[in-house]
């Protein structure tokens, strides 16, 4: 599997899977070839993921596991213990990437949170650290205050949203973006431009969209419970779009359709 800044370029998203459904989906994803698994405390599925990974027989060295610290655990008292609970649930000694899931409500706390992330890495509980849903101003502050290089900013990224300003800032900081909702919850797959390109290339629409994301140097973590869809997603690693098709899909970002936008975050989006 190809990598972007040392991280597998395609991962398997797990929201909103839980329980036995999450276990079955992880098993299926591993059978297809996925080795990058994305989770979060907020998803409530770390224990199910841990069970599936332990039962899979896939060597730990082949896996790349991400999880995220949820807002209620960002305090000095809760941060470390919450990460240890996540590791217990995941049945891991460390995660490969630990993210702050959402920016703090008090932006004065950004530097303190980044220091806590670094502290977790210092203890050997996370190999890499990063953030999620951070707008440009917050990302720059987080990067400037971190003793370690931030390895990701996981954000909504797909052909129907314009994230050019955020991507330019992340590129300038050499911090890769990770795309959640990379297929725009399916909306991107039915767009006539995507459908035409997919038909012409003999590929699934999801294959085309995920190739478009990867070719911009963005990691993607799509979720599906269907093996045929997972195989189409995985197929994107072997597909390269030409400049014309890349431009055609990139033009769709003018739709600027954000799928995930909590009310308290709308004021921060770039």
Q: Find the catalytic residue in 15, 43, 138, 180.
A: 43
Q: How far apart are CA 110 and CA 67, in angstroms?
A: 19
Cβ–Cβ under 8 Å, residues 1 and 35: yes
Q: Assign 3-class secondary structure to 75-119.
A: CHHHHHHHHHHHHHHHCCCCEEEEEECCCCCCHHHHHHHHHHHHH
Q: What element of type H or E holds 128? A: strand 126-132
Active site residue 43: yes
Dihedral sign for Cα atoms in the order 46, 47, 52, 55: positive
Q: Exposure of 48 by Cβ count < 10 A (0-12 exposed, 13-18 middle, 19+ buried)?
A: buried
Helices (H), 91-204: 110-122, 136-145, 164-173, 192-201
Q: Which positions are annotated as active-site residues?
A: 43
């Amino acid at each position: 599997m190809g990598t972007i800044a040392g991280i597998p370029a395609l991962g398997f998203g797990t929201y909103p899977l839980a329980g036995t459904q999450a276990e079955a989906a992880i098993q299926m994803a591993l059978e297809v070839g996925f080795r990058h698994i994305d989770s979060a405390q907020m998803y409530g599925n770390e224990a199910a993921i841990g069970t599936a990974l332990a039962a899979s027989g896939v060597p730990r060295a082949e896996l790349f596991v991400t999880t995220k610290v949820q807002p209620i655990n960002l305090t000095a008292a809760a941060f470390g213990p919450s990460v240890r609970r996540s590791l217990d649930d995941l049945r891991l000694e460390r995660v490969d990437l630990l993210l702050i899931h959402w920016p703090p409500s008090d932006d004065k706390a950004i530097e303190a949170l980044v220091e806590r992330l670094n502290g977790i890495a210092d203890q050997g509980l996370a190999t890499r650290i990063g953030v999620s849903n951070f707008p440009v101003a917050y990302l720059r502050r987080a990067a400037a205050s971190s003793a370690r290089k931030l390895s990701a900013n996981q954000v909504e990224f797909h052909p129907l949203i314009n994230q050019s300003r955020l991507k330019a800032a992340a590129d300038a900081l050499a911090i890769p973006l990770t795309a959640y909702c990379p297929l725009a919850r399916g909306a991107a797959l039915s767009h006539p431009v995507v459908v035409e390109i997919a038909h012409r290339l003999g590929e699934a629409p999801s294959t085309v969209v995920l190739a478009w994301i990867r070719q911009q140097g963005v990691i993607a973590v799509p979720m599906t419970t269907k093996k045929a869809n997972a195989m189409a997603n995985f197929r994107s690693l072997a597909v390269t779009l030409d400049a014309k098709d890349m431009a055609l899909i990139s033009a769709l970002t003018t739709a600027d359709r954000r799928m995930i936008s909590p009310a308290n975050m709308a004021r921060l989006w770039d």
